[in-house]
Structure 1
Amino acid sequence: MIEPETLEPGEPVTQFSVLLQNRAGALAALAKLLRNNAIEVVGISVQDSRDATIARLVVTDPDLAQQIFVEKGIPFTTSSLVVVAMKEAGPGLLQVLDTLMVAETNIDFAYSLMPSPKGQAQLAMHVEDYDFAISVMNQAGFKLVFQGDLSR
């Protein structure tokens, strides 16, 4: 019996959770700051509250973004995301969710990324156990996306 080929995982996709003042233009100013430094935002999720906003960002150059945030005094945290490229958003989504359910692992939150240069839908997920989820998704044959794949 031939064992299925397992791919050596790349560097995890980094998500930044950035604390912004809840005011008009704050998110646009952050995007412009990144763009002016040749960093593209490829994924975004915004959680609003009355006083502050949490912007979750996936960018093409997380090392430089982190350096800029530190230099500018912008509060942030980072976390690793499992990102899956899907050929079909509808059926693909259900397959991803079913695979993780059968493996009994939880998704803390999820959101889609901008389409890849190949036009594939990409689902970013923060899971309770990154290494386990990567292993499960890899064994199930899903196309995983790593940080190097997002750098354009």
Structure 2
Amino acid sequence: MQVTTQLAVFLANKPGTFAAVCEALAKAKINIYAIATSDSVDHSVVRMVVADPVKAERMLEEIGALVIKTEVIMIEGSNKPGSLAQIMRTLAEAGVNIEYAYCATSPMVTRGMLIIRPDNVARALKALNLKSSSAPAKAKK
């Protein structure tokens, strides 16, 4: 679990704009860890967590994209029923509101990645760290 920078990139909602962003990042050798899009009539917002947000922001602005930086929490978790519910319950009990979240996993893997934008990053980290430190230790084999 770590606090990281998310880039929100505002794009015209037309063919090729999303491809141009992905191609620019690939050309700059910047890996995309997580990505989500939302659209409206005339534009879309691409939220992404990347390996080098400073370089990515500079490069995206050079191609004319509007970029907004936001602090988010990146959480790697178990790919099993109830994992997300447990995280959300822990945050709710700490009074943390989730403004948005996105995640991905696959049936073939045991771990997944969750990106959350809490209303209070420090409180969310404290709640999640307390929960993980109070979890019972696994027995050694």
Q: How many residues matched?
A: 131
Q: Report deviation, 1:119.
A: 5.7
Greater share of residues in strand: 2
The 8 Å contact of residues 44 and 113 in structure 1, kept in 2 or not, is answered as no
Q: CA deviation at 1:23?
A: 0.4
Change beyond 3 A, Cα 1:111–1:68: same
Instruction: Select the residue among 26, 51, 57 that pairs with 1:35.
Output: 26
- CA distance in 1 between counterparts of 2:80 and 2:50 reads 22
1:98 aligns with 2:97: no
Q: Quick one: percent identity of the two aligned structures?
A: 26
Matched residue, 1:22: 13
Following superposition of structure 1 onto structure 2, how do residues 2-151 of structure 1 map, counting pairs within 5 Å?
12-113=3-104, 120-141=111-132
How far, CA to CA, are the matches of 2:80 and 2:61 in structure 1?
Answer: 36
Deviation of 1:71 after TM superposition, in Å, equals 2.4
Displacement of 1:140 in angstroms is 0.6
Structure-1-length-normalised TM-score = 0.79
In 2, Cα distance between equivalents of 1:114 and 1:72: 31
2:35, 2:49 within 8 Å by CA — same for their partners in 1?
Answer: yes
Q: Would you identify which runs of 4 or more consecutive aligned residues in structure 1 move more than 3 Å? A: none
Shift of 1:85: 1.1
Name the TM-score, length of structure 2 as normaliser.
Answer: 0.84
- Unaligned stretches of 5+ in structure 1? 1-8, 143-152
Higher relative contact order (CA 8 A, sep 6+): 1
Instruction: Give the direction of change, closer, same or farther, for the CA distance of 1:15–1:114 in structure 2 (3 Å limit).
Output: farther
Deviation at 1:89, TM superposition (A): 4.2
- CA offset at residue 17 of structure 1? 0.7
Give the unaligned 5+ runs of structure 2.
Answer: 134-141
